[in-house]
Amino acid sequence: MNPSARSLPQGPSPAFIIASWVALVAGLAAYNVGLWNAQMPLNEKGYYFTVLMYGLFSAVSVQKSVRDRLEGIAVTKIYYGLSWFSTLLAIGLLAVGLWNATLALSEKGFYAMSFLLALFAAIAVQKNTRDTLSVAADKNAGLPVG
């Protein structure tokens, strides 16, 4: 391929879209099934569930704000910073909760890995959604899509 050739925008493959959704569902299901079956007080289960939801929202916010900046869409520094801070805070809250929990190491690792899988997958699903909408908008505008 000619190195000076400009690549045409193309959307994510159907396989990547499906893999992203499967990873998100797997991460959410594993984490929540683990919580459901855990022998811990209800308030502790609520804490871990809230951290998961907060983490998912903040990870999607980071993806959106990073993508907006790359595309030249205005993102305030405070929102950009808060998005990153929130994501790191959610990970930190989970880490502190697991550090102090009276769970087996294997359970702690299970929650950490399913949490991180869900966060990564949420970012991938958000990216796929945005890419698909961008390609559709380019097609509707009559721009070449490769």
Task: Measure the CA–CA gap between 47 and 99, rounded to whole angstroms.
Answer: 14
Contact 14, 122 (CB under 8 A): no
The count of structural domains within the chain is 1
Task: Measure the CA–CA gap between 51 and 85, rounded to whole angstroms.
Answer: 14
Domain-embedded: residue 146: no
Say what the pTM is.
0.83
Domain-embedded: residue 1: no
Range of the domain at 103: 24-131
Domain-embedded: residue 36: yes
Domain-embedded: residue 54: yes
Task: Measure the CA–CA gap between 136 and 134, rounded to whole angstroms.
Answer: 5
Task: Measure the CA–CA gap between 26 and 48, rounded to whole angstroms.
Answer: 17
Q: Which residues in 94-107 are b (16+ Cβ under 10 Å) and which e?
A: beebbeebebeeeb
pLDDT at 133: 85
Give how far Cα 82 sits from Cα of 24, 74, 78, 119, Å: 23, 15, 6, 17
Per residue in 73-86, pLDDT (tens digit) is 999 999 999 999 99
Per residue in 24-73, pLDDT (tens digit) is 999 999 999 999 999 999 999 999 999 999 999 999 999 999 999 998 99
pLDDT at 77: 94
Domain-embedded: residue 106: yes
Task: Measure the CA–CA gap between 56 and 58, rounded to whole angstroms.
Answer: 6
